[in-house]
Amino acid sequence: MFVVQLLDVAQPDVFRSWEVVALTGIGPTGQQGKIPSGVRIVAADGTTMILHSTYGSGQTKEPENEQHPDYVIPEEGVKSWRLKVNAQFAERG
């Protein structure tokens, strides 16, 4: 998943870890729980969240051949773009 590739390069301090997950009951029949369908992210404070990817769990598959084989995520560009202030959580009410 592209988001995992970006996280691997950026290594943001606000996240402790991330991993691709295959969720039970999501995906094509016979492949449920086997095909990557999201990303589990553990924040620096221990909060865990799952970002569900609807594209990765649909009926279509990844292309057999990489569509842009020469593309490389620009390490310096991704690492130098850092939030100076983390986004604030929305107030419930």
pLDDT attached to residue 89: 60
40-46, Cβ contacts within 8 angstroms, sequence gap of 24 or more = 41/7, 41/15, 41/17, 42/15, 42/16, 42/17, 42/18, 43/14, 43/15, 43/16, 44/13, 44/14, 44/15, 44/16, 46/16
Q: φ and ψ at 75, to 5 degrees?
A: -55, -50
Q: pLDDT tens, 55-84?
A: 544 556 667 787 778 877 776 666 655 555
Percentage of the chain beyond pLDDT 90 is 16
> Which helix (H) or strand (E) covers residue 38, if one does?
strand 38-43
Domain positions in the chain: 2-80
What's the confidence (pLDDT) of residue 41? 93
* Residue 74: CB atoms within 10 Å: 11
Question: How confident is residue 35, by pLDDT bands cut at 50, 70 and 90?
Answer: confident
